Amino acid sequence: MAIKNSENKRDENLPGHLIEMPAFIVKENPRISEAEQLRLEKRARIFFKEAMVKMRGRQWDLALQDLEETRRICKIINWPEGSARIDEMREMLASKKSSDSIETHSRVARERFNKNQSARAQRVSAEHARLDQMHEAARERMLKLRNVIQSSKNLEIGRLAGMLDLDEAFVKNQASCWVDQFGFKISSNKIIFGNGKIDDFIDALDKQFSS
């Protein structure tokens, strides 16, 4: 029986770091004819090439299926060199699959971290904006209150509470302290400024209620 060495032409589309199937030598086999061996060899190379393409696309499980089919054919036609090559490729596939999994987990972790950082930055920015609005509103209230007090001889406690955005009962309790501290009087639910220390009173309100 003639011995034939099939050509192992290189597929230029395969990545350089991936190796091809070795040469196949037809053997005498009473169960499988020469033509059938060559047909099966060709089929094995097709499956092997498909596996390479799928590995390039990171389709690890599908690539492994093609490698297993190639191995099965290698056993049928008694191609130990082919089986050895499949073992090499299986190890390479397992390594690449593991690296890809680690890379994927790392990327997901980075994306989650960046998303959390972005959400936190948005929360901080929103809180700063809220505080700025509160401070601006308090500043406007105090400016309005300063104008009212400086142009009035008295001020109703209820109105003062509204301008300070405070509970009226709380302001009534505070009024007795203000009377003693700044030289005011209270009459008919009003604070009578008289000759009291109006500027000191306004400054005290600004410090206590502007934030």
Task: Give residue for tokens 């300070």.
Answer: 164
For residue 53, the enclosing domain spans: 1-129
3-state helix, strand, coil in the chain (%, to 5): 70, 5, 25
Tell me, yes or no, whether 10 lies in a domain.
Answer: yes
Residue 163: CATH number of its domain: 1.10.10
Domain co-membership, 105 together with 156: no
pLDDT digits (tens, 9 = 90+) for 133-192: 877 877 887 788 778 777 877 888 888 888 877 888 888 888 888 888 888 888 878 888
Mean pLDDT of 111-133: 82
pTM: 0.47
Residue 108 pLDDT more than 90?
no
Give the residue among 89, 98, 75, 95 at the shortest CA–CA distance from 19. Answer: 89
Q: What percent of the chain has pLDDT over 70?
A: 90
The one-letter amino acid at 121 = A
Q: Which tokens go with 22?
A: 């070795």
Counting the structural domains of the chain, the total is 2
Same domain, 157 and 205: yes
**Is the same domain home to 184 and 122?**
no
Q: Are residues 185 and 124 in the same domain?
A: no
Do 24 and 77 meet the contact criterion of CB atoms below 8 Å apart?
yes
User: Which value, to the nearest 10 degrees, does the dihedral of the CA atoms of residues 1, 49, 70, 3 take?
Assistant: 10
- Residue 210: pLDDT band (50, 70, 90) is low
